[in-house]
A and B are shown apart, each in its own frame.
Chain A
Amino acid sequence: MSRVAEEVLGAEGVSFSYGPAPALSNVSLSVAKGECLAILGANGSGKSTLLKLLDGLIFPSAGCVFFEGRPITEEALKGEFLVRLRSGLGFLFPEPDVQLFCPTVFDELAFGPLQLGLGAEEAAKRAGDLLRMLGIEALRDRPPYSLSGGEKKKVAIASVLAINPGVLLLDEPTNGLDPRSQVWLYELLLSLRGHGKTVIIATHDLSLAGDLSERVLVLDESHAVAADGPAGEILKDKGLLLKANIIHEHEHRHGDVVHRHSHGPFSTHDEHD
């Protein structure tokens, strides 16, 4: 199967189910090098499953996933292709407690580089650089489980960056972050994008999707692609977002005036009854 020349990740007619429950249905997409794609969808729409499929952590029951034009299958994931894929893709899990399994923060940051055979000296250098970059040097010898939620998230992000992947797969990256940390994450991702990284974000955070991504893919509640297009167009399509259960409307009163408005990018009080 021939793929687009600059495509770094792609999926063709991918379906996946957890037992009898479908998680993804006939999903196709193509992500070009350096692109930033936001995957939007309600809870249970299949965003996390799609990211895991793209990272070769699970395999589709139908269809195929591609990395740099090569199919990601259990048989293909070995040798040089496995190393290329693991060093090329960085996956951020939504729950930092899952991602942080090493005894100390330093070990956590050195884990990826060591597994990819970069050597102890290079692993230590990368860990040190990331600790400095994120301003978490004081946490170097702390066990990750003893950190606060925001600190855990920072360490989890650093543990992914330590591999220096070309593609970042971020599953709910703003989950559990306070507003200041969300701004910090946004600026970090902006800077990474500026240096040519491909970023794929599964999120509910419409402002993050709007500010960072040039393209948005919407998964609906039937686990299929409801839309895939420029962020500016998709995020303005109120009907689509309402149908996919990404935004909702609510009603409240100011004296005798009843306001009916939606949350998210349409949260203005100009939709009076």
Chain B
Amino acid sequence: MAEVILPEWLKGREEAPASLRAGSAGFIERSLVNFASTMKRLYVDGDYSSKKGALQAIEPRAKLAGFFFIIIAASLAHSAVFLGGVLVLAFALSFVSRIGPGPLAKRTFPAFVFTSVIVIPVIFGAVTPGREVLDVFGASVTGEGLRSAGFFLVRVAAMVSTAMLLSLTTREADFFRGLGRFVPSFFATALFLTFRYAFVLIKTAEDSALAMKARTIAGARAVESRTWFAGRAALLLKKAYGVAEEVGMAMVSRGFDGKLKGAAARALRGRDYIWLGFASFVLFLSFGA
């Protein structure tokens, strides 16, 4: 093997130029790392689904159907009191499911904050005309606008907390298995694989951000960060394509022929019927609310 000849500058150790100042991570890198950690915290951390709670004991099909009824009820209702009731119900159920309000609130909060931001225009008279209650730098805030925004926020909080309660009390496997009983199993499998491999890609994106951090001393300029992000996005797309192809092969090599065959679900029991009856009753109430 030919001898490796090192360039002169590589033979010694040199100090970084005195003018170089350490910079902080750019907005894009910070956002990426924060997004990855939020996703992991929301969907992976905390094993509440294996606790011996009331909702955890319900058969996945029945649980999924019941929560679907309650979410439909929350989307149909026109009464803030009813929606408040659904919100209270979700938090009450978090107690009997041995989760408690903290973890549920933590998972509902980001959606609540996001919605709060997007409903801001609704409170102004230009969007929702009505009786002016406040003047903000010349723009009038109307009572009707505040009511509409508040109502929308309560609806979102009720629906998101119910959906989060379902995700917290249901093992990922049971959720997709239950879903596969209602929709064609191919769709449930595709959805599961999307969810499953999103984490592989998030991990790749996170590692890319860390790799850049490891080689960055002075902070990267915004334009460099954008170029880097575009390059990483292209890499992720390519990797997603490669992974999809390989996963397809891995499924085929173990006998998958386009039709997914699964084990039979257990029969519904008394508590499953009680839950379904209760959820149906909530849905029934929403028609008059």
- Residues in A lying within 8 Å of B, measured CB to CB: 52, 55, 57-58, 82-83, 86-87, 89-91, 93, 95, 97-99, 101-104, 107, 110-112, 114-117, 120, 123-124, 141, 143, 145-146, 159-160, 163, 248-251
Chain B: minimal CB distance from A250 (Å)? 6
Q: Residue on A with the closest CB to B260? A: A115
Task: From A83, A111, A141, A145, give the contact of B254 (CB < 8 A).
Answer: A111
Task: From A110, A145, A250, give the contact of B200 (CB < 8 A).
Answer: A145
Those of B150-185 within 8 Å (CB) of chain A: 171-173, 176-177
Task: From B250, B256, B263, give the contact of A93 (CB < 8 A).
Answer: B250
Chain B: minimal CB distance from A139 (Å)? 13
Instruction: Give Cα distance in the complex from A267 to B289, angstroms.
Output: 81
Enumerate chain B residues within 8 angstroms of A117, measured Cβ to Cβ: 261
Q: Are A143 and B172 interface neighbours, CB within 8 A?
A: yes
A55-B173 contact in complex given A98-B247, A145-B200, A146-B44, C-beta closer than 8 Å: no
A115-B254 contact in complex given A104-B173, A143-B172, C-beta closer than 8 Å: yes
Instruction: Answer whether residue B251 sits at the interface, using C-beta atoms and an 8 A cutoff.
Output: yes
Enumerate chain A residues within 8 angstroms of B200, measured Cβ to Cβ: 97, 145
Q: Are A99 and B261 interface neighbours, CB within 8 A?
A: no
Instruction: Answer whether residue B12 sits at the interface, using C-beta atoms and an 8 A cutoff.
Output: no
Instruction: Give Cα distance in the complex from A89 to B252, angstroms.
Output: 11
List 11 A-B residue pairs with CB atoms under 8 Å apart, sorted by A's residue number: A83-B255, A101-B196, A101-B250, A103-B177, A104-B173, A115-B255, A115-B257, A143-B172, A146-B44, A163-B255, A249-B1
Instruction: Answer whether residue B192 sits at the interface, using C-beta atoms and an 8 A cutoff.
Output: yes
Categorize the interface residue count of chain B: 20 to 34
Given contacts A93-B249, A115-B255, 4 further A-B contacts (CB under 8 A): A95-B246, A124-B263, A141-B50, A251-B3
Q: Residue on A with the closest CB to B264? A: A120
Enumerate chain B residues within 8 angstroms of A124, measured Cβ to Cβ: 263
Enumerate chain A residues within 8 angstroms of B260, measured Cβ to Cβ: 115
Instruction: Give Cα distance in the complex from A159 to B192, angstroms.
Output: 19
- Residues in B lying within 8 Å of A, measured CB to CB: 1, 3, 44, 50, 171-173, 176-177, 192-193, 196, 199-200, 243, 246-247, 249-257, 260-264
Q: Which of A98, A124, A249 has the most CB of B within 10 A?
A: A98
Task: From B173, B251, B262, B263, give the contact of A101 (CB < 8 A).
Answer: B251
Number of A-B contacts (CB under 8 A): 85
Instruction: Give Cα distance in the complex from A141 to B56, angstroms.
Output: 15
Chain B: minimal CB distance from A92 (Å)? 9
Q: Which of B3, B255, B261, B264 has the most CB of A within 10 A?
A: B255
Instruction: Give Cα distance in the complex from A98 to B254, angstroms.
Output: 13
Q: Are A99 and B250 interface neighbours, CB within 8 A?
A: yes
Instruction: Give Cα distance in the complex from A99 to B172, angstroms.
Output: 18
| List of 4 A-B pairs having minimum Cβ-Cβ separation, nearest first | A103-B173, A115-B255, A120-B263, A112-B254
Q: Which of A97, A104, A117, A248 has the most CB of B within 10 A?
A: A97
Chain B: minimal CB distance from A149 (Å)? 13
Instruction: Give Cα distance in the complex from A104 to B193, angstroms.
Output: 13
Q: Residue on A with the closest CB to B173? A: A103
Enumerate chain B residues within 8 angstroms of A159, measured Cβ to Cβ: 254
Q: Are A123 and B254 interface neighbours, CB within 8 A?
A: no
Q: Residue on B with the closest CB to A106? A: B173
Q: Are B173 and A114 interface neighbours, CB within 8 A?
A: no
A101-B247 contact in complex given A86-B255, A159-B254, C-beta closer than 8 Å: yes
A250-B1 contact in complex given A112-B254, A123-B263, A145-B199, C-beta closer than 8 Å: yes
Q: Are B257 and A82 interface neighbours, CB within 8 A?
A: yes
